[in-house]
Amino acid sequence: MDTWISFITEVGFPVAVTFYLLHRIEEKLNVLIASIYELPGNMKR
């Protein structure tokens, strides 16, 4: 928690929130990319 507080004081609150949201959305984007790559194979069935 101390790491987040020092990060917020150094770069500012909006930048910290942006990094947090990008970190959360990264995993969902990876799942979406994998689904897109599998789509042609699923459409042949």
pLDDT top residue among 26 and 5: 26
Look at residue 35 in the predicted model and tell me its pLDDT. Answer: 93
Q: How many domains are there within the chain?
A: 1
Number of Cβ atoms within 10 Å of the Cβ of 19:
13
Task: Kindly give, in sequence order, each residue whose CB lies less than 8 Å from that of residue 7, ignoring residues fewer than 6 positions away.
Answer: 16
pLDDT at 4 over 80: no
- Expressed as residue numbers, the domain containing 33 is 2-44
Contact 16, 4 (CB under 8 A): yes
pTM of the model: 0.51
Whether residue 3 is predicted with pLDDT greater than 90 in this model: the reply is no
